[in-house]
Structure 1
Amino acid sequence: MAWGAMFNGHAASGSWTGPRLQWHVNCLELLTVRLALHHFRALLEGRHLLVQSDNTATVAYINRQGSLRSSCMSKLTRHLLLWNQDHLRSLRAVHIPGKLNRAADELSRQPSRPGEWRLDPEMVQLIWELFRYAQELFVCYGGQQRLSHWIVDTIVLDYQTTGQCGNNLLDQIANITAEVLPLTDVKTILDVVFNTSEKALVSSSADPNKLVSDGNRVLKASEKLVSLLVKPTDTTANVSFTLDTVEVEVFMVGQNVTLDKIPRLDTTNSSVDIDLIGIAKNNSDGSAAVAFMSYNTMENLLKPDFFNTSNDTIKTMMSTVISATLPKTTNPKLTKPVNFTLKHIREFDPSGSLFCVYWNISEWIVDGCSVLETNSRFTVCSCVHLSTFALIMQTSPSESDSLMELLNLVCVIVGLVFFSLALLTFALCQWSPGVNNVARINLCVSLLLAHLLFLLTQQFLIRIRPQKVLCDVISGVLHFLFLSGFVWMSIEAVLLFICVKNLSQISSKKREVLSSGFLCVIGYTVALVVVSVSVGLFPEGYGSKHCWIKIDKGFIWSFLGPVCVILALNTILFINIIINLNSTLKNLNAEVSQMKQTKIMAFKTLAQFVVLGCPWILGFFTKDSKTLEILFLIMNSQQGTFIFLVYCVLNEEVRQQYRKCFRCLCCGRKQH
């Protein structure tokens, strides 16, 4: 039995001897392809290759990059793919009928020629033993397997991925004996490791022991894989890459290093300062390496609840989980403490306590780590050893004040009812031509929607908070609605000031101060511009734990800044209104005095203190005062109530229309 192949007029052939004479014909056909590629290597280097074979199994195994039906053909396919990765740009196969494949077929029928070359079986076995992990390592993910080591193409299988597959993968990684792996292979395996762990998390999320076990295995596997990026160097070398689930920085120094200090190793949310030069000097070969990893999803496995402190506290993971190791370093003893800078990934609570912790088999502990510096954006931790670290904030549960919660709920609901009544009155009642209700109507609409959305958000916060996008959108909409409400308060203050200034002319001149369209443009455009600029400059500022604006980096001032300006303007206008109203009422003639009752006008003006939002100033002083907090809650939740009283109940024309409406309702009931 023999084999044969043709390439551009060049021929290659040989004979089958020994155990291969007992092989299945499909295995021999695939082995022929492998031998032909080796024979024509000089002609094929760097090309796209199309193999024509009259054996359908050979074509299928090459195109599908293997299968589980035949172990013999699977092994041969792996050899082909490994060789292809180093020598060809691509490898595909097509079926050719036997009658069209006569040249190669004739070669396979020839006896072997003297001196025909063949691979030395012992050398092949030695190479295969050296890289045996490539034979064994399959990475399972999403119904697929990936063969790593020069190969990142997927092999579609006929079965679904199970949790057992993920466990086998981590075991295979732990058993890798190679010293160095290519970067592409490490990235490929790491990516699938974390994706597989996320799938397994669904079934183990309720079992703390399973979470701890999986977390330890994933940490061990990732540290092992990253250590395979470390290779000898005389001076310095570094490797870095970023995946969706992890960021990696590896820095290596050799005995001829000229640096006094290595650069800080940075990831998106963390960085590390380590005296790697000093560590290298303590090693006999004068070399050392540090691997720094920042895990974006590890907190789902190594939860902050594993920080064993008093049970009556709330633990929050304030940073990404990070790991720092000294792979392939003979003497890993630190010469000085290592400093980690951890960016806060959640809203910082000034009343909470921050702890720099490290993972110790089954729990987070603080031994050997301390907080050097902290602010609202980041914390610097100092540790005397290397491990897996994180930043955990511990806060006392907020005291549940049922009375305040009930008062808040009742006040907001009452305010919403009166906002609705005011809007119905503005819409259904007939108003004199000189009355401009545009600002009041839009003020009611903005605050009604803002209070309603905020109330619903807080009632369903547990369900909304995990949906980050929804929470961010809600906080942005609330920002816009409350800001537009304040802008309309300012417009109302300006209109009232103009009205009071022109009160002496009211009997002779009735006019609309500004057009409705122009007021609407001002009322909503200002708020929209502020929110748009805020989103453009710092989109991460939305979505606090209450689905409101975060206080990070002073972003809260995108709301407080405009509010402070508007409140200051409204307060100044309110004072001027009182002064001008007092002066105007003294000079009014009898005709005007009969038209406007002085006491009612004064009450309306005083009520404007609430309508114009001036009580919001109390919000800056409620932190340490329960009384001011209650007063702030009542006054600002009842803006709708005061609008309804001032502009509806105390308006004689509106009251007459109310009486007429009630009479009609009463007469209708009597008739029935």
Structure 2
Amino acid sequence: MSPFCFPVPGLCFLLSEVMAQMTKATCPQCPQHAFCVNGTYCTCDSGYASDSGKKFFTFPLETCNDIDECKPPISVYCGLNAACQNVEGSFHCHCNPGYKLLSGDTQFKNSNENTCQKTTSSKTTRDTEELQRVVEKFESLLTNDTPWAMGEKREVASRATTLLQTVESSALETALKSPEQKIQKIHNSTVAIETLVVTDNCSEEGKVFSLNTYMNSVDIRCDDIVQENVKGPTAIAFISYSSLGNIINATFFEEANGKDRVYLNSQVVSAAIGPERNTSLPKSVILTFQHVKMKPSSEKAICVYWKSMNEGGQWSSDGCFLIQANKSHTICNSTHLSSFAVLVALTNQEEDPVLVVITYVGLGLSLLCLLLAALTFLLCKAIQNTSTSLHLQLSICLFLAHLLFLTAIDQTKIKVPTLPQRTPCPEPRDAQFVDEFNTPVGLLQINLAFFLMTFWIVKNKLSSLNRDVSTLQNTRMLTFKATAQLLILGCTWCLGVLQVGPAARVMAYLFTIINSLQGVFIFLVYCLLSQQVRKWFREIMKSKPESETYTLSTRFGANSRPRGGVFPEQLKRKY
């Protein structure tokens, strides 16, 4: 028998029966792009992942979705002069425009198979050179520091707006000159451009194109690229600027709260479609940014776009929504095309003065009560047993924890949970914030199960014994103490999880009040409600006046007569 089954053999027998029944079950109906394993559960095909993230599943409504190996966190590397292309259930690499494999094939699997060589076609070379001139033109404008350094903020914004629009228009114009070159890519140290030309009017329904530059990407539907009022091919250009964010930085974000510290944590990217530059879209595009530096969990990501204005331009969050953010990447969606970036803000959380007062007063009372409780458990001989020893250790631990919290409360860094603004699939709160409360809540559920099982066993034992009044009273008092301890020391963690939505403020007050008064609860339940402890307190209170009487009576002799004619016997009776 397994060592885990030794304490509860009946439970293990039941589990073994359930497992035996499961092995006899027939294979469940697996969804599309999945197959059955061992006749008991399903798993997704290679190149697909379950919607729940589980490798094996039996849920009949589970779905298997295509894995985009070309996007983070996988991001297949195809080698120099090549790019990754995702396909349904798989992926492949292909040479950039102007390059081809030595074997003559059009695709390969990884960088080890990369033999992309520059072609000698004058047409392809001319197209690449024209796109290269666009990049060089931008680089010359950007490296000229004088206009950026000497100009005022409004002038810098105006120049940046003109620069962004010029590069977008030039890239689209170059792509539409050679529609047979469906994909064109070029990059250097300051800018990377990828263009895509659509000529088949989106023959595949719901087709989505993905363009990647500098580890940033955009996903856009084919229907959004094709323009109904334009005859002929249409194109989309996706551009990443490696250093433009140093010029149009977070100081151009006018919506920032004065108390928040905001900085730009991504490259500036642009997405545009042509020949007619259309900015509004019927459906949103998905943008994925790689962070310039790792984002701490305490900081909040903000998706923004460059809003052109008469004064020049500024960063704005209108129409941009956060989907998901982790330490290395942020995913946004937008209902229009423009230039985009990710700002990060460290929000200063304002303290509630009432909660501060409750915290200090409650912890002060708890420290006093925990000290009295510890002295009672240590000095009262009538109640000393194994249970009292455990309560003494609990009181000491809580005393030290409350004292540490009270003295170091101002030394901790405020951590603000990040709530997504709009999200179809991510976690509703920051993972670290959730784990801080879910761990004790999970342990609480396990202890609650053991508590209920123990209570049920004790109840059955008492019903089979000859019970007297004292046994019933002791059992009721024990049950009351155990239930109260479970609620006060355990269930209050649930109030921390419930601090969301309109009831967050009420839950915060309940959480603070109940948890700050844990010491008062322990002293009340385990000391003041104990008859033996109350009797011990009364004996201590009586012993003081009796000792004073004894001192006064022995101060005079048996036959001595004090001043005023009062004898010692009279003095003793008086006191």
Relative to its length, the structure with more helix (as a share) is 1
TM range (shorter): 0.3 to 0.5
* TM-score (ref. length: structure 2): 0.43
